[in-house]
Structure 1
Amino acid sequence: MKSSRLVSIFLRSLLIQASFNFWRMQNLGFVYALIPFIRLLNRDRGRTQELLVRHLQLFNSHPYMTGPILGSVVHIEEENLKKQSIQNEDAGTLKNALCGPYAAIGDSFFWGAYRPLSALAGVLLAVHESVAAPLIAFCMYNSVALWVRWKGFTEGYRLGKMGIDFVRRLDLLGKARKIRWISLSFLALLAAFIASKDVAVPLVPLVRIGMKIGVLFCILLCFWAVKKGVSPAHILYGMVVIVFLLCTVK
């Protein structure tokens, strides 16, 4: 397949969330990305219909991890086209098998580890009064996300079913654990920097901090009660009573 067509498929994959729906999730976005490949079928109604039926099924994964899946699917479908095979279900089977695990990996690394780290880096720069803080945080996060999407797509297309080796070599779950420790170090640096400033702290912010801690304590108390088997309805009514009593205290 021509490189220009592959680039077109990849660029379309960046919009996979644009047509998200609660019926079949990302299926429309996935098929939209495949349109440059569908054009290779030369208006073969039977093949086009079979491909659309295969890929309009339920699909939901982490948006940044769809690149490796899409690349492998394009590779398999291209092989099917060369073999003149119509009812080959390998692409659909692979897609369904990978979407769940890749979603978990992407959520853990991007949402749970790398995005907080990028935000903390931006906050540290902002505390030092750097006007470039938002731009640096934005570039820091999106450069990695785009690299994973592009490299995953190209490796998936090159290796086909074995494109999973690329994701395995990345070891995103292991990196996520390390990044969380780095984030804690950043938080410690931020706390030390703020504590080193000789600034008078007024009483009102302290009261607000106390209120926030109290809210956090109530949330944790609710989680503890749910874990102990307390009815959510009882927890809700109990919180209403507690808030009412606090409001009546002068």
Structure 2
Amino acid sequence: MSSEKTTLSTDDKKLVKELFLNSFFLENCYNYERQQGLGFALAMWPAIKRFWHTKEERAAALTRHMAIFNTTPHVVGAISGVAAALEREASENPEFDTSIINNVKVGLMGPFAGIGDSFFQGTLRIIASGIGISLCQQGSPLGPILFLLIFNIPHIIIRYFLTMVGYKSGTSLVEGARGGAILQKLSKGATIVGLMVIGGMSASMVALSTPLAMTIGETTFEMQSYLDQIFPSLLSLLYVFLMYGCLKKGMKATGILLMTIAIALVGAFFGFLA
């Protein structure tokens, strides 16, 4: 739905400004368990404080946004804007499924990360660095100043614009979905996209293989090559299931991380894992 059809009130514009400013906390306390989860929860606080009124409701919303999250910081405003609009709908509609919020976040963070990294890290930063380094080599103090200006002026403008567009788009979406079955379809679609993103992250970030091989006569059979022919990345998938099972049984993420390190060290030492 077109975000231009949604006109924001003065109060909404104030909220967008607060979301924009709080988005700079995104990478506060970045960690391997939840990555930017804590920073995103802090970035969402203006919306949570505005739309939820009891201590229990605010705690539930903060907990919801503490889930694992990771995207390019410069474009996070688009996602926090949509999430804020969904939080408002959740506070006004008792039948709203709050799981939609995190599913939409997960579905958006991957595509926006790809776009943000390509533009800001792969293009704008290189251009700004080239100009700044060239001036620094000439002994000009303008080098670092221009680097910061060339990179951050477009960054700040785009960051605010995306926050505005994200909130407008989320508002248009929930307004169009009221009174119909669209919310159910949205929930199902967001769940599917979220699971696809998590599956893709698991496949690309969990790498586990074995160098075990058997020699029969003059022929060497490498176990990993046969596993890849039957089911590529099978060991990685099994380890993801193992970690999921540990989480379901109440094991802390820190414990799973230490267990992973221990398995890696033991496997490398005895030569059955690579």
Larger deviation, residues 77-86 vs 111-120: 77-86
- Conserved in 1, the CA contact under 8 Å of 2:19 and 2:77? no
CA contact (8 A) 2:20 2:163 kept: yes
Q: Distance in 2 between matches of 1:161 and 1:54?
A: 20
Count of aligned pairs between the two proteins: 162
Q: CA deviation at 1:128?
A: 4.6
Distance 1:96 1:10 in 2: 20
SS in 2 for 1:20: coil
2:170 counterpart (160, 165, 175): 160
Q: Deviations over 1:71-120 (max 9, x none)?
A: 11111111222223453322211100011121122222211221111011
1:147 is aligned, of 157, 171, 175, to 157
* AA at the equivalent of 1:111: Q
Q: How does 1:61-100 map to 2 (within 5 A)?
A: 61-85=71-95, 87-100=97-110
Q: Deviations over 1:175-221 (max 9, x none)?
A: xxxxxxxxxxxxxxxxxxxxxxxxxxxxxxxxxxxxxxxxxxxxxxx
Q: Contact (CA 8 Å) 2:16, 2:163: kept in 1 or not?
A: no
Task: Please give the residue correspondences for 1:60-209 in structure 2 after superposition, counting only pairs within 5 Å.
Answer: 60-85=70-95, 87-160=97-170
Give the TM-score normalised by the residue count of structure 2.
Answer: 0.54
Question: How much is the aligned-residue C-alpha RMSD, in angstroms?
Answer: 2.2
Please tell me the residue identity of whatever aligns with 1:28.
Answer: L
Could you tell me which of 40, 43, 51 is aligned with 2:61?
A: 51
What displacement does 1:160 show?
1.2
1:194 maps to what in 2? none
> Cα distance 1:48–1:131, how it changes in 2: closer, same or farther (>3 A)?
closer
Percent identity between the aligned chains?
28
Is residue 2:48 matched to residue 1:38? yes
Amino acid at match of 2:33: W
Which of 20, 33, 41 matches 2:30? Answer: 20
Question: 1:101-151, CA deviations, whole angstroms, 9 ceiling, x for partnerless residues?
Answer: 211222222112211110111123334543322111110001111122111
- Counterpart residue type for residue 89 of structure 2: E
SS at match of 2:120: helix
Letter of the structure 2 residue corresponding to residue 135 of structure 1: I
Counterpart of 1:8, as a letter, is E
SS in 1 for 2:47: helix
Aligned residues of 1:50 and 1:87 also touching (Cα < 8 A): no
Contact 1:94–1:161, Cα closer than 8 Å, also in 2: no
> 2-side partners of 1:137 and 1:94: how far apart?
35
Which has the larger Rg?
Answer: 1
Tell me which residue corresponds to 1:8.
18
Paired AA for residue 42 in structure 1: H
Q: CA deviation at 1:39?
A: 1.7
Give, in whole Å, the separation in 2 of the partners of 1:139 and 1:36. 28
Task: Write the letter of the residue equivalent to 2:124.
Answer: Y
The 1:161/1:113 distance shift into structure 2, 3 A limit, reads: farther
Q: Secondary structure at the match of 1:48?
A: helix
User: Which amino acid is the alignment partner of residue 65 of structure 1?
Assistant: V
Q: Which has the higher helix share?
A: 1
* Equivalent residue letter for 2:164: T
**Secondary structure at the residue paired with 2:54?**
coil
| Cα distance in 1 between the residues matched to 2:136 and 2:63 | 50
